Structure formats: structure tokens, C-alpha cells
Amino acid sequence: MEYRTLGTSDLQLSAITYGAFAIGGNMWGGNEEKDSIHAVQASIEHGVTTLDTAPFYGFGLSEEMIGKAIKGRDRSKIQLLTKFGLVWDGSNEGKGKFFFDAERNGTSVPVYKYAAKESIIKEVEASLRRLGTDYIDLLQIHWPDSTTPIQETMEALDVLIGQGKIRAAGVSNYSVEQTAEARKYLNVASNQVSYSMLNRGIEQELVPFALQHHLGIIAYSPMERGLLTGKYFQGSHLKENDHRNGYFRQFDLPKVQAFLETLTPMAEDKGASLSQLVLRWTTLQPGITIVLAGARDAKQAIANAQAMDIHLSPDELQFINHELAKLQL
């Protein structure tokens, strides 16, 4: 495994990071707790020491399972990344920006973007309890909150750093303008954003900004929620309550399938899966610090970690990029 420094912080994170959205269950068709815990533990044992989660993932369940998975392990060798700013329990008292209605145990629950100081403090205390730790390595605002000044949010994070409850702070889903504003009040370490072979919009503005200002980029959804594994085109069926049934419709699926077919010989030649090849390509893109990869069980987790063993030459990277250009996405 390769370990990389996040921005100007002192955090050393695994290039492949465990993304814990799916093990929360909500929006992903559910998952067995023992499989999820084994996936986290297998990740750590194979060098993926960085775990990224959020309170919203499973309404606290994802954080709880990570807490169970790391219990008794050397905390100094594990990096916990979590978030704040999506409130679903009514504690915001109607404040903030309505985001969407989520399903919880068959009931519709309104979710708000809310990042006021007092709310952040409460969220962090709840996350610490669920994770079973006394500090968070990187705390990130989950989505921009238009109802709270960025200055207020950043000042709250600065207080938490001073208290030792978080080691570093980051943003997520922020534009270049919002990131620049945040940096006026706090030296944020990173911006976590969506990035994949099919979604390269950040290369236009955010990547150059990050390279210029030594800002870390954490890439999420590199597999486009499983689409780039190729399994979707091989008869794999999604559960009825899986949000990907709608998510995949945004893509020209025949073009994506044809693209993946061009990569298959390269993957086979390297003794790798398409998933591993896609992950490795993503880790090698300019400006990308770490890449999130989810896993529902230990087998998937180990495969994700082994993606870093793949060598891609400049000519092979050029071939992949040439084929990507044909997609015209």
C-alpha cells in the first residue's frame, strides 16, 4: 500500500481508503453487520488503514460498525475520517437548508444541510461515541450549507482542532470559490468530491486549484457506485430499494459497456479485475490524493487493497485515456 500526505496536514493516509457509505445500509439495499465488520478489518489488515464514513450513512450505523471493527486495535495506526452537516434527527429545529427526504425503517425522514457551530459540536460528540474514540483524524463538512456563513463553520472546526477532538479539517462537495472562502479562516486539508472515469469535471478548475494551493483531493464514487465493475452488464441484479436503479440511468450504458470491454484484455493480462484497474487508474490521476472504495465483505476489501499492486505504464495510461476520450461524456 502507498501512503500519502493529505494537503498541508500531518495525516498520512492510505491511497486506497475504505468508503463506508454502503455498510450503512440505507439507499444500498442493506448489508449484514458481520460482513461489514469483516470488510473493515480485512481492509486494515491489507494496508487500507484509512476509513471514511459519515453520521448520515445508515443514520449512525456506519460509524457504529466501524467502532466495533476497530475496537481493541492500535488507534494510532488507523485514520478515521468522518463528516458533519447532514441533520435528520430534528435537532436543527427547522434551521438549515432542506436537502431531501430519506427512508428510515419505512418512514420518510427530512434531511437538512446544517453547519452552525452548536450543531457541529453536538454532531462531533455523537460521532466520537459511535466510533468509540476520543479523536477524529479528519472532520469534513458533508455538503455546503447556504444558511450558515462559511466563516462560522470554519471557526467551529478551528475550536475542535484546538481541543484535540479532531486532527485536521476538510470540506466536501465544495466549489473552488467555496473552498477559497473556507481557506480564509482555516487551513483546510482537503476537499472530498465525486470523481471517476465517467465524471472528470473537477479536472477543469478544482484540480489546478488544489495543485497550486497544496490542497488534498479525496475522490469518492470512483467506481460510479459499482457501474465500472462491469457486473451490471453481466446479469447482476440490484435490489428494488437500491438507489442505483435510478442513478445508472444518467449514463449512456451501451457506450460504458463498450469502453469496459476495451479494458478487459489489459485487466486480464495483469491478472486483475476491471474494478482494480479502474481504481489504480484513479489513484494515478494528477491532484488525486486518496480514492475511496467501498466493500461489503472481506473478499471485496482485499481486492480493493490489491489494486495498488497493479503497475500501469505511461503507454497504458495513454491507451486508457484515449479510449475514455471516445466516450465524449
What residues are annotated to the active site? 57
**Whole-Å CA distances, 7 to 74, 84, 190, 192:** 24, 20, 6, 12
Q: Is residue 304 within 8 Å of 279, Cβ to Cβ? A: yes
- What is the greatest pairwise CA distance in the chain? 57
- Say what the alpha-carbon torsion angle 70, 291, 213, 318 is, to the nearest 10 degrees: 160
Structure-block grid coordinates of residue 299: 473478499
Provide the sign of the torsion angle of the four alpha carbons 259, 261, 16, 311, taken in this order: negative
H helix and E strand count, the chain: 11, 13
18: nearest Cα among 314, 298, 260: 298
Q: Is residue 251 within 8 Å of 198, Cβ to Cβ? A: yes
Backbone angles phi, psi at 228, to 5 degrees: -80, 5
Q: How far apart are CA 317 and CA 315, in angstroms?
A: 5
Determine which helix (DSSP H) or strand (DSSP E) holds 190, and give its type and residue range.
strand 190-194
Q: How far apart are CA 51 and CA 303, in angstroms?
A: 16
Quickly count: other Cβ atoms within 10 Å of residue 115's Cβ. Answer: 29
Residues 6+ apart with CB under 8 A from 145: 85, 96, 97, 113, 114, 115, 116, 153
